[in-house]
Amino acid sequence: MTATDVFSWQSIVAPGNGPRAGVLATPHGMVETPAFIPVGTKATVKGILPATLREVGVQIVLANTYHLALRPGADVIRQLGGLHTVMGWDGPILTDSGGFQIFSLAAIRRVTDEGVLFRNHINGDEMMLTPESAVAVQNDLGADIIMALDVCPPYPCSRAEVEEAVRLTLAWAPRALAAHKREDQALWPIVQGGVERDLRQRCAAQLVAMNFPGYAIGGVSVGEGHEHLKAVVGWTAPLLPADRPRYLMGVGEPRDVIASVAAGVDLFDCVLPTRNGRNTCAFTFDGVIRLRNEVHRTDRRPIEEDCDCPACRDFSRGVLRHLFAADEMLGPILVSTHNIRFFTRFFGRLRQAILADRFDAEVQGLLDRYYRNG
């Protein structure tokens, strides 16, 4: 048995470039694409029960290799029954490689040809993450989809820095392939190259030649802004095989999502729903609502009239504002839940628009409504 026997991506509409709808099959279930992946960094989507994730339409979740390797450790998770058991989640799981921490923890790491030496942010110990150990950790964690270690350069940075990130990403990919031991997990690489078109092309071409079962686009949403992101994804997505899933890492702003779905991307993850939810910001199809504002003090309306999430069913904006003001944990839980439901509804609308062959018209309406207040 090989990864292609237990994983597949089947196109329903537009198998090539441009907006496409499909179904991703994994050992733990199917994912209808385009789809959103909530982030559960430390093996939990902050404050949200797994049953609630299912209730609000989540199909697949993400966990973080670097953080779980530090605490509780991949061996502990394996002994506890694997990541699905630890998360209490029986659906598909994707784990990232730890490569994003090369970007986000730049002050406590050193990159070499061998791998990345981190200064453990918990106790100060050193931890070496290599292409081989990143795969070994993820093999122990037991996620359905795992990522090859890459180097994510910041924006802005010099062309030489981006070239070095691409060089290491390409050098590490075959090492990750050689280290991968589980046929019930799909290993995907990550295309890097910053905002340099020729480097994106080089990275994509060499990774595609290695024949992975799926591909990710990384190194965006790191400060480059919407127009650069749109251009990078527009260059890169068509370079990836039309019969494989395409995953854009760390992107959740609606206009960025729409531009990327238009370019042929299938999967997205982002911390925005829960991070914003913990900070009183609720996503709606009319834009973001800041529940801390005084205008909501006695507002008896739900966050969104047509939303079926637990927050909108049972609580008003005024009550939610009170929960935050009183520092009650229920406030962040409810707004985070609503935000995740917003994203599953948003992606559902994108999928339906593709299936109905009305993508351009529908998304223009979504954009006009969401951003009409600036």
Clarify whether 96 is annotated catalytic: yes
Choose, from 184, 243, 269, 357, the residue flagged as catalytic: 269
Q: Give start and end residues of each alpha helix (H) in the chain.
A: 3-6, 50-55, 65-70, 74-79, 83-87, 99-104, 131-141, 159-179, 197-209, 225-236, 254-262, 272-277, 310-314, 317-325, 330-355, 359-370
The Cα–Cα gap between 211 and 322 comes to 53
Choose, from 96, 150, 256, 266, the residue flagged as catalytic: 96
Cis peptide before 156, with omega less than 30 degrees from 0? yes
**Helix, strand and coil percent figures for the chain, each rounded to 5:** 45, 15, 40
Q: Give start and end residues of each alpha helix (H) in 215-329.
A: 225-236, 254-262, 272-277, 310-314, 317-325
**Residues 220 and 240: beta-carbon distance below 8 Å:** no
Pair of tokens at residue 138: 């993820």
The Cα–Cα gap between 319 and 296 comes to 9
Q: What is the DSSP letter of 25?
A: E
Walk across the sheet containing 126-129 and list its strands. 109-111, 116-119, 126-129
The Cα–Cα gap between 299 and 38 comes to 29
The Cα–Cα gap between 337 and 312 comes to 10
Query: Which residue do the tokens 């991949």 mark?
Result: 74
Would you please indicate which residues are annotated as catalytic (active-site) residues? Answer: 96, 269
